[in-house]
Structure formats: structure tokens, C-alpha cells
Amino acid sequence: MHDTAISLIELGAVFFGLGILGRLAWRIGISPIPLYLLGGLAFGDGGLIPLHGIEAFTQLASEIGVVLLLLLLGLEYSAGELVTGLRRSWVAGLIDLVLNGLPGALVALLLGWGPIGALAMAGITYISSSGIVAKVLGDLGRLGNRETPVILSVLVFEDLAMAIYLPILTAVLAGVSFVGGLTAVGVALVAITVVLVIALRFGKYVSAVVDSPDPEVFLLRLLGAALLVAGLASQLQVSAAVGAFLLGIAISGSTAQNATRMLEPLRDLFAALFFVVFGLNTDPRQIPPVLAVALALAVVTSATKMLTGWIAARMQGVARMGRLRAGAALVARGEFSIVIAGLAVTSGAVQDELAALATAYVLLMAILGPMAARVVEPLARKLLPGKPRTKTA
């Protein structure tokens, strides 16, 4: 059979299979990320039926998926919201960073993966999944709860922390010198500052550059700008993901709303391919040896995220039940953790076992997170004494 025909058949099967997995995930009330990862594991090296005709397309598509994930994340925030969120949550954010980054770093060191592996694993266990958290809060009708602004503030701090962390990780993985690493961090900090200033004062002009009344022209301008900025950022060793995130912040108002509505289907499509590609590049035979470590890490970091949410909500005067809900909502890990693991493994600077551990960990956390958010309140009402609390306590 012709190579093109084989590639089309394989790609068609992948897309159709993703559609089935996505439908199944939402039917049973979990994020589709774990199922996408499992699908990739099943058809990668060491899987049931390895696919070898679509590597070139899926690799590029997965990179576009990361760009769109971060672009859409940036579009969710205005520069003013980021500044306000940072002022409100910086103490809780630092506590979150220590409590949830430290377990991953310690595990990497104990496994002999060295400082680079420790830096990567710290990011994997630190960052919550904004996508999963937002979905769960919406599904459970908690968007108006008193603890929800606290949760969002913590997520904003994490996103800003990633804008600094990713350039550092990229520089370290590339093996640049100490001076080169400091330069990368400096460039990232300057870029973040400049983008925030531009977005606060001149956001309407940035939006005007990409905006258009014609949907086709708007999509072409927006996607073209995102890929250009991501490529330039990557060339400067700042990280393509950070470039896309900063562009999203700079776009504001109705332009940002229209961009979000138009790009969401594309993001879901390419992001799904990203998770599949990560699974394809992970040998499933490497997962059983690290499964116990992943489970232990999941238990520890679920507890530390619960503590993070409790502390953050308490600092804002939220009642006990609201603190528990805040902690449970933050448990899920997902897209960011896989992005970090993907950067680390593809660089060749860390052991391949890190991909297996990250996959097993995210599989567990993407399932545990929504479950914890759903059961924490009824379980607490049964176990904890005291008067019943209102839903928005």
C-alpha cells in the first residue's frame, strides 16, 4: 500500500479513536487526558500496534498543541487580573511552590536523576491543571462559591511561575552556561514585564493587529501571530509556550473572547494529539517499575495540594468547608505536567524513565483530582462535627 495511504489510514484511525475516548471520558465524568495518554501508550513502541507512518505530522501537530494550550490560557486573563491575582496570592503561591515542588524534586534525586531531573520533576508535581480545575468547578456549579476566587488566584500565580520556570528549564536542558541561563531568565522576566505594561496600556492596539470582522482572516492572523511569537521565543531560548502565553495576555476585550471561541476546537484537536504523541514516545514496559513511586507521589502531592488550598482560603477568611473544597479543586495535574515532561525527555538530558513516571503520575492525578473535588464535601459533612455549612461557605 502507498505510504500516503497508510499515513491517512493511521491518522484517520487516531482521530476517530480520540473522538471515542473523549466521548467516553465525559460520559464517566473524568478528563480525557488519561485516556489520550493510554491511547498513545497502546500504539507506540512497545504497545499493541505501533504506528510508524505519521511521526512527522504528529510531532509538529503536538508542538502546535502546546502553543494553542498556552495561548488560550493567556487569553483567559487580562493583564489587570494577573496583577491583582499576583498581589492577592503571592504568599499562598510561594507556599504552593514549596509544598508541591519539593516532593517531585526529592523523588528525582532519590532515583539518581540528578539536579536536572529534580528541576523537571519539581515542575511536574507543582503545577495544577487549569483546564481540569475549570471544568470541574463549572460541572459542580461552584463558579460563584466564595473559595473560587482563591483557587483562581493560586492558578494565576502558578501560570506566572511557569512563565519564569519554563525558560529556566529550557536553558538547563539545552546545557547552556550559567551566564546563558541567567540571560534566559532575564529575557523572560523582561518579556513578561514588557507584555504586562503593553497589555495594560496598549492592549487595544495589540488586539487590533490580529482582529478582523472576517472569521477566516481573523483565524489566519491569530494563528499566524501565535506561531510567529512562539517560534521567536523558542529561538531566544525563552520557550515557545511562554511566548504564546504572553501573546494571549496582550490580546484583550472582545478580541480575546472571539479568539477563545474560535480557537477552542483547534486547541482541543491539537492538544489531544500532543497527549497521544507523549504516550507514543513512552514505552509502556517502563511504567510498572515506577508505578509504586507514582502512586506514593500522587498520595503525597494530593495532600500537599489540599494543604495549599486550605491555607490560601483561610488567608482570605473562607470557612472550613470552603477551604476543603479549595484544596480538593487544586489536586488535578494534567497538561502542564506533560508539557514539562515532554521538554525534558525530548532534550535527552534526563532518563527515559522520567516520561514513564510522569505518565503514570498524570494518569493518577487527572483521575484523582475530579474525584476529590466531587467527594470532599459530602465526605467532610459525614466525618467532621459541626453545623452544616451553606454551599458558598
DSSP 229-266: HHHHHHHTTS-HHHHHHHHHHH--HHHHHHHHHHHHHH
Categorize the per-residue pLDDT at 391 as very low, low, confident or very high, splitting at 50, 70 and 90. very low
Query: How many Cα atoms within 13 Å fall on the side-chain side of residue 337?
Result: 35
Domain range summary for the chain, segments of one domain joined by +:
3-383
CATH topology (fold) of 3-383: Na+/H+ antiporter like fold (1.20.1530)
Closest CA to 277 of 324, 223, 338, 208: 338
- Average pLDDT of every residue of the chain: 82
Average pLDDT estimate for 218-228: 91
pLDDT given at position 51: 66
More confident residue, 73 or 91: 91
Reply yes or no on whether the pLDDT at 178 is more than 70. no
**Confidence (pLDDT) at 81:** 67
CB 283 within 8 A of CB 347: no
Contact 212, 218 (CB under 8 A): yes
Nearest to 89 by CA among 251, 300, 314: 314
Q: Is the dihedral of CA 268, 278, 126, 75 positive or negative?
A: negative
Q: Per-residue pLDDT tens for 257-293?
A: 899 899 888 888 888 888 788 777 777 788 899 999 9
* pLDDT of amino acid 57: 77
All cell numbers assigned to 277: 504523541
Look at the chain and count its residues.
393
Position with higher pLDDT, 176 vs 365: 365
Question: Are 169 and 120 within 8 A, CB to CB?
Answer: yes
Instruction: Give the pLDDT of residue 238.
Output: 61
Helix axes 3-28, 253-280, angle to 10 degrees: 110
Q: Which ranges in the chain belong to alpha helices (H)? A: 3-28, 33-43, 55-75, 79-110, 114-126, 130-139, 148-173, 178-210, 215-235, 240-250, 253-280, 287-315, 320-329, 335-347, 353-383
From the list 269, 293, 348, the residue with the least C-alpha distance to 65 is 269
For 11, other C-beta atoms within 10 Å of its C-beta total 17
Point out the least confidently predicted range of 88-102, 144-158, 160-174, 298-312: 160-174
Provide mean pLDDT across the span 212-218.
Answer: 90
Comparing 105-114, 153-162, 228-237, the range with the smallest average pLDDT is 228-237
Which residues have C-beta within 8 Å of that of residue 94, sequence separation ≥ 6?
none
Least confident among 101-115, 156-170, 354-368: 156-170
> How is residue 236 written as a grid cell?
531566544
How confident is the model at residue 239, as a pLDDT? 66
CA distance 213 to 342: 37
DSSP structural state of residue 129? -
